[in-house]
Amino acid sequence: MTAQRADAIVIGAGPYGLATAATLRRVGAGARVFGEPMSFWERHMPKGMFLRSPWAGSHIGDTQAGPTLDDFERARGERIARPIPLADFVAYGHHFRQRVALDIDPRTVTAVEPIAGGFRLLLADGEPIECARVVVAGGISSFAHRPPEFDGLPPDLASHSSDHADLAAFAGARIAVIGGGQSALESAALLHEAGVDVMVILRGPRLRWVGRAPRSGVLGPLFFHKTDVGPAGLSQLVARPSLLRRLPRRLQDRAHRRSLVAGAALWLRSRISEIPIVDGRHVVEAARANGHLRLRLDDRATCEVDHALLATGYRVDVRRYGFLGPALLARVRCVEGYPVLDGGFQSSVPGLYFVGAPASYSFGPLVRFVAGTEFTVRTLARALTGRPRSDVAGPALDVRSAETVR
């Protein structure tokens, strides 16, 4: 079968894929996009969830290339709650795609291999495509971390939190949620509210609440950037990835660790007040027992539950992107699973770019979140087009007509 040709391919249609495609098209660097829009948010996050990210840190991409949350709220004609409900953010993602008229191909890219002058991609239906540049916006679903203590257990006894879109399916069961971050505690709250007998087990000595320090007022904006990624003071540095990447590696790593310490939004506190929490402990053994799951903790205490929900986060390793072939991966320089990228998000393979969580080794924690899409797409557009910052930042998009305003 003769391969089609394209200048650039974007793999993934979540916030980073949508933002990348919208900005590249606006600056005249067209790209074909493959993937189901917002699929991770719809299929791998539980109904009833709220975003921990603030309103100002939840706009998709360059606010001059597509509609903001404010634009979506006005278009819908009713106020969106704060914190933002998951369902409303998913609807915003689809609104974004429609308003900028992105033509998304929902087919899955199954393989990417290097060829002379670029890359050859294979789609799920067997169609080949050749292109000069590939932007990987594959998201984090491939990176779900499952602690080794749960290896070998079937999904009816232990599963990752990203395996579920509706936690009400556990009604009537006894569930142990493993983890101490936002996903763990919000999952526990949703389970409890669905009538599930739930407990939480976390390694940390205590729960860490995010939002104690004031974000508003006179001093708040001095210590916290509007994206609200990272602790007081450090938030301002994290919001400037081009500056952060100039620091010595040890300082970058420290900023990354401090900004990603497991914690939960303060507004969750009242919702988990009745849930048993075992802190300062971790599971050392998990095994089937009498049709249930027996958990043994590091203090030798044991408990039996029907299921362990592993809200244990994600660990980036681009080798787990099944579509990246071994010949290509062998040429991608990585550090602990993260690709090492240049100032334009390009990997050690010319023409191969990574955005989202895989870029966080090179650009810091901001790009793990939706808040990082604006910086990412503006930087990527400059790299792909050679245009200066001022050209990439304009003209603006009139979301009323979806036409450029000069």
Domains of the chain: 4-143+314-405 (3.50.50.60), 154-208+262-310 (3.50.50.60), 218-259 (no CATH)
Which stretches does DSSP call E strand in 226-333?
264-265, 277-279, 283-289, 292-297, 302-305, 307-310
Q: Which residues pair with 296 in a beta bridge?
A: 285, 302
Give the Cα separation of 229 and 29 in Å (integer).
30
pLDDT of residue 388: 54
pLDDT at 400 over 70: no
Which residue type occupies 284? V
Which pLDDT does position 402 carry in this prediction?
A: 33
Closest CA to 341 of 372, 363, 318: 363
Confidence (pLDDT) at 3: 82
E strand spans, 194-237: 197-202, 209-210
Burial group, residue 223, by CB count within 10 angstroms (0-12, 13-18, 19+): middle
Average pLDDT, the chain: 93
Which pLDDT tens digit goes with each residue over 247-279? 999 999 999 999 999 999 999 999 999 999 999
pLDDT in the model for residue 397: 38
Q: Could you read off the pLDDT of 210-259 as tens digits, one per residue?
A: 986 777 777 788 899 999 999 999 999 999 999 999 999 999 999 999 99
CA distances (Å), origin 230, targets 83, 279, 300: 18, 23, 35
DSSP symbol at 158: E
Residues 190-213 have a mean pLDDT of 93
pLDDT at 63 over 90: no
Is pLDDT at 399 greater than 70 in this prediction?
Answer: no
Q: Which two tokens stand for residue 332?
A: 């991608």
Question: CA 304 → CA 53, 292, 308, distances in Å?
Answer: 35, 7, 10
User: pLDDT value at position 99?
Assistant: 94
Give residue 404's pLDDT band: very low, low, confident or very high (50, 70, 90): very low
Most distant pair of Cα atoms in the chain: their distance: 70
Give me the pLDDT at residue 65, please: 81
